[in-house]
Structure 1
């Protein structure tokens, strides 16, 4: 394996709950037709990358397993290593709920939150510090050319940790499902695939 570290980071394809505005956290729903097409676009593009992908690391959650299997059907990828450190952030009892559900069941708890930091206000969810610690541990363990298949919020944390961003900046990073993020040489380059 090379001593250089280069990461191709993607978010799983769109799921039924993404389309319905439900926050999945560590729960799962299937990919939509659009999500399958997004995963296929990832696979087609990644199969043409001139740099050989040496390692494929993915969250063990079902939507990522489904996305990863589709990507791997395009051929030239190593066997996936399932790593809980890049699983989605758990929002505890909020997993599977919509924003309206949360507001109805926990009135006022989201008051004063930003569009991004509310994820970490769940009374029994994962904290920002805990989630960031596992992401940093994962990043520090990598070498070579890695394809990482993860999630929206965790993908923000990975990119934020890579660039050493403050919490509010990390949490406001975009989370499209049609972009491969290339992390190399202390820079992040978006590669649109659709």
Structure 2
């Protein structure tokens, strides 16, 4: 693949902090989430030789757009130029959207023995549906060669998996950071860590 892609997850949200699942629903960034987006934006600014060569693509979900706008401002890209793309949005988590993770643990204590437990939600979007839309995005010749992609935890993991041809188990063995981002280039993935104080829990 010839594209150069910086891939990041939105910053921490209120639901993340409350250990609630989001999926296609939304909650605003916390103060920490704003900080995470700002620090990643500054890190990107220092890595881009020419900001005019880069286009920001974002999931249309509010928490991703909030993050994208902060990142754009830090880099010096007009936020009005952000391209919203539904292919980058998070898995729909069906009947579990807005659910509290501790409540799910009580109801189904063995559920969390598997890394893909999110997708056990009734009426959840399937892995293959998300994989298809990420494959479509990566093959889309209308997407520029140099892009900054703001997506989500699970969708970001699938994105990296599709890029490297990972197995299903490898996809769900990845972490879902909000204080780091990834460069996908030359068929390799590099992780760039940023210095922010992160929450103890990582939820979608």
- 1:124 aligns to 2:123 (yes or no): yes
What residue in structure 2 maps to residue 11 of structure 1?
9
- Helix, strand or coil at the partner of 2:123: coil
Task: Say if 1:4 and 1:143, in contact at 8 Å, map to a contact too.
Answer: no
Partner of 1:60, secondary structure, is coil
Q: 2:102 aligns to what SS in structure 1?
A: helix
d(CA) in 2 for partners of 1:28, 1:44: 25
Instruction: Indicate the SS of the match to 2:182.
Output: strand
Segment of structure 1 superposing worse, 122-131 or 71-80: 71-80
* TM-score, length-scaled by structure 1: 0.90
Report SS of the residue matched to 1:34. Answer: helix
CA apart distance, 1:69: 1.2
> How far is the alpha carbon of 1:100 from its aligned partner?
3.3
Pick the aligned partner of 1:98 from 97, 100, 106.
100
Q: Which residue is 2:135 aligned to?
A: 136
Q: Partner residue of 2:65?
A: 65
- Which whole-Å CA distance do the structure 2 matches of 1:184 and 1:75 have between them? 20
How far does residue 143 in structure 1 lie from its aligned partner after superposition?
4.0
Query: For the residues of structure 1 that align with 2:39 and 2:128, how far apart are their CA atoms?
Result: 33
- SS of corresponding position for 1:188: strand
Residue ranges of structure 2 left out of the alignment (5+ in a row) = 196-204
**Are the aligned partners of 2:56 and 2:72 in contact in 1 as well (CA < 8 Å)?**
no
The alpha carbon displacement at 1:177 in A equals: 0.6
Structure 1, unpaired ranges of 5+: none
Equivalent residue, structure 1, for 2:187: 186
Paired residues for 1:33-44 under 5 Å: 33-44=31-42
TM-score of the aligned structures, taking structure 2 as reference length: 0.85
Mapped to 2, the partners of 1:139 and 1:73 lie a distance apart of 25
Contact 2:55 2:146 (C-alpha < 8 Å) held by counterparts = yes
Measured at CA, do residues 76 and 128 of structure 1 come closer, stay the same or move farther in structure 2, by a change above 3 Å?
same
RMSD of aligned Cα (Å) = 1.9
- Does the 8 Å contact 1:59/1:65 carry over to 2? yes
Q: 1:55: Cα distance to partner?
A: 1.5
Match of 2:25 in 1: 27
Q: Distance in 1 between matches of 2:71 and 2:98?
A: 26
